[in-house]
């Protein structure tokens, strides 16, 4: 009887074990506990490494020790004329539109043992006198060698011996996230060093009001303040990679609130070389007005994803006007460098002199073409009218003028009469008579008073023409060519709902 009971117990335990195993492994009826759940990748995307903290700390100490003697303090007596923007400003928080002279300060970087110093244009513009104090407390009067307002850079010169010139690095190789140090003279505190990282590259802040201005700032969270302007942004190799230029400010104190901006040293070097050699810039231009390619434009021209920059207008007698470049082309590359934002193209061209030939890789009608463009210096005002395309003679005025609303797009268009066509100096087109707030048209910066002259490269003569083009483009995107009352044309992509 005992043996029988023992066998029964063994049998029950075995059956329970098997049944439990089946439940867990085969049917998945038992959920794992929270502690057993594995979320995310099984391995880190970046290989971990143990850093010797003392070695890391010593890198900052060594850079500060080596670079600080190359940074100078600049004092300027000037007659100010311009008031800075309140939200993004250069490092002169005290400038106002006042008639009397005033003193202000900034920083500079010694770039030659012959006494040449690189700084910002806004540090020395309108200067009546410029004084430089070296790190070793020596003082010198300086002369302004040349300035470039379009990049906010300037070169000054002192007559001094035993100067410590800075090592200028390669700003094209900087990476977001790498450690940097800002060295300058903020708030009149000489030889101040702060540290942070490269927060972003290629920022445009619209600080330079001239449409030909070049803005391709390095953004950093290293603390910089008024007086740092013209100082150095340095990596842990001790190489200057940027010239500190602007800060984000609350508009009240004019002081640092989180981010600063520096001009890439590769651009600064090119400008400095021209200023030292010629006293002025001999920069070349392509002679185009460009804009970023958004998703709607990419879809309208048959691109898989947005890339490149679109040519909106051609400057008459400019470099592009004499080459195979057309409005509506998308510039994918200049030489071997991809460009995906207008300031990327501008920054590259700004390093080139007039007479230099560059290769533009263009996207046109679904294909890539190469166009060679020899850069030209601007004759006068770059804000020229666009090249007028040849058009056929105007047809007799329409008898019936039609107006039609496209609710899913959010705008209304109407036929133009003879008076309208004469006003806009065009021989064809339809007028946008109303735009719904926050609709598709509104979000693509289409507004009342614009004239649509083309849709998908087809001339638009009437509302009927436009309706037919949109009807066959449902579920796709259409590339519109629009004209304003000033005669300026641009291309706009807009998605057409199914």
User: Can you give the pLDDT at residue 215?
Assistant: 85
Whether residue 479 has pLDDT greater than 90: yes
Looking at the structure, do residues 317 and 340 belong to the same domain, yes or no?
yes
Residues 330 and 349 in one domain: yes
Judged against a pLDDT cut of 90, whether residue 363 lies above it is answered with: yes
Q: What is the pLDDT of residue 280?
A: 87
Q: What is the pLDDT of residues 442-471, one digit of tens each?
A: 999 999 999 999 999 999 999 999 999 999
Each residue's pLDDT tens digit, 144-173: 999 999 999 999 999 999 999 999 999 999
Residue 10, pLDDT > 70, answer no
Sign of CA dihedral 246, 250, 252, 256: negative
Instruction: Kindly report the average pLDDT of the chain as a whole number.
Output: 83
**Considering the domain boundaries, does residue 47 fall inside one?**
no
Domain identity same for 245 and 103: yes
Indicate whether 91 belongs to any domain. Answer: yes
Mean pLDDT of 122-145: 92
Measured torsion, CA atoms of residues 93, 98, 100, 101, in degrees rounded to the nearest 10? 30
Query: In terms of domains, do 60 and 189 share one?
Result: yes
Q: Is residue 477 part of a domain?
A: yes
Whether residue 122 sits in one domain with residue 91: yes
264 and 333, same domain (yes or no) = no
What are the tens digits of pLDDT across the range 385-434? 333 443 444 444 445 789 999 999 999 999 999 999 999 999 999 999 99
Which helix (DSSP H) or strand (DSSP E) does residue 471 occupy? Answer: helix 463-471
Q: What is the CATH number of the domain that holds 305?
A: 2.30.42.10
Alpha-carbon distance values, 418 to 202, 424, 451, 484 (Å): 46, 10, 14, 17
In angstroms, the CA 336 to CA 230 distance is 31
Q: Is a pLDDT exceeding 90 seen at residue 329?
A: yes
Mark whether 64 and 116 lie in a shared domain: yes
| pLDDT for residue 383 is more than 60 | no
pLDDT at 211 exceeding the cut of 90: no
Number of domains making up the chain: 3
Query: Is residue 29 pLDDT above 50, yes or no?
Result: no
Which H or E run includes 5? helix 2-25
* Host domain of residue 199: 52-279
* pTM score, whole prediction: 0.72
DSSP string, 255-302: --SS-EEEEEHHHHHHHHHHHHHHSS--B-B--EEEEE--HHHHHHHT
Enzyme catalytic residues:
122, 152, 229
Q: Is residue 463 part of a domain?
A: yes
Do 306 and 264 lie in a common domain? no
**212/349 same-domain check:** no
Query: Is 328 in the same domain as 228?
Result: no
Residue 68 has pLDDT above 60, yes or no: yes
How many other β-carbons are positioned within 10 Å of the β-carbon of residue 23?
Answer: 12
């Amino acid at each position: 009887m005992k043996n029988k009971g023992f066998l029964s117990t063994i049998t029950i335990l075995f059956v329970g074990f098997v049944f439990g195993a089946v439940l867990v492994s085969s049917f998945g009826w038992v959920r794992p506990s929270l502690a057993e759940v594995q979320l995310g990748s099984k391995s880190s995307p970046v290989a971990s490494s143990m850093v010797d903290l003392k070695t890391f700390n010593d890198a900052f100490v060594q850079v500060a020790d080596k670079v600080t003697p190359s940074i100078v303090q600049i004092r300027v007596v000037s007659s100010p004329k311009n008031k800075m923007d309140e939200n993004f400003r250069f490092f002169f928080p005290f400038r106002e539109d006042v008639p009397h002279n005033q003193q202000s300060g900034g920083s500079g970087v010694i770039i030659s043992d012959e006494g040449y110093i690189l700084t910002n244009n806004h540090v020395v513009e309108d200067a009546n006198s410029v004084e430089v104090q070296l790190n070793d407390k020596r003082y010198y009067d300086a002369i302004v060698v040349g300035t470039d307002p379009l990049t906010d850079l300037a070169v000054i010169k002192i007559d001094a011996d035993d100067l410590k010139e800075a090592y200028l690095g390669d700003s094209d190789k900087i990476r977001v996230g790498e450690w940097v140090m800002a060295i300058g003279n903020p708030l009149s505190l000489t030889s101040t060093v702060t540290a942070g990282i490269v927060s972003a590259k290629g920022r445009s802040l619209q600080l330079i009001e001239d449409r030909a201005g070049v803005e391709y700032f390095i953004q950093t969270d290293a603390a910089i303040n008024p007086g740092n302007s013209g100082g150095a942004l340095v990596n842990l190799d001790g190489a200057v990679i940027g010239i500190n230029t602007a800060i984000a400010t609350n508009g009240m104190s004019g002081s640092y609130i989180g981010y600063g901006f520096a001009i890439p040293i590769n651009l600064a070097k090119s400008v400095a070389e021209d200023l030292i050699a010629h006293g002025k810039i001999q920069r070349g231009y392509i002679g185009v007005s460009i804009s970023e390619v958004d998703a709607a434009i990419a879809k309208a021209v048959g691109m898989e994803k947005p890339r490149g920059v679109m040519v909106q207008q051609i400057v008459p007698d400019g470099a592009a006007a004499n080459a195979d470049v057309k409005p509506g082309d998308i510039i994918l590359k200049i030489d071997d460098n991809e460009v995906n934002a207008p300031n990327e193209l501008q920054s590259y061209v700004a390093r080139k002199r007039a007479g230099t030939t560059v290769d533009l890789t263009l996207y046109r009608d679904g294909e890539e073409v190469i166009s060679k463009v020899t850069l030209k210096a601007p004759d006068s005002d770059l804000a020229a009218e666009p090249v007028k395309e040849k058009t056929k003679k105007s047809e007799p005025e329409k008898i019936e003028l039609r107006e039609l609303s496209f609710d899913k797009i959010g705008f209304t268009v109407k036929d133009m009469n003879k008076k309208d066509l004469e006003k806009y100096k065009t021989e064809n087109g339809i007028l946008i008579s109303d735009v719904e707030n926050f609709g598709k048209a509104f979000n693509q910066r289409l507004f009342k008073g614009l004239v649509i002259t083309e849709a998908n490269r087809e001339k638009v003569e009437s509302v009927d023409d436009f309706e037919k083009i949109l009807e066959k483009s449902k579920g796709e995107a259409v590339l519109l060519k629009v004209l304003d009352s000033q005669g300026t044309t641009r291309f706009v992509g807009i998605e057409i709902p199914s």
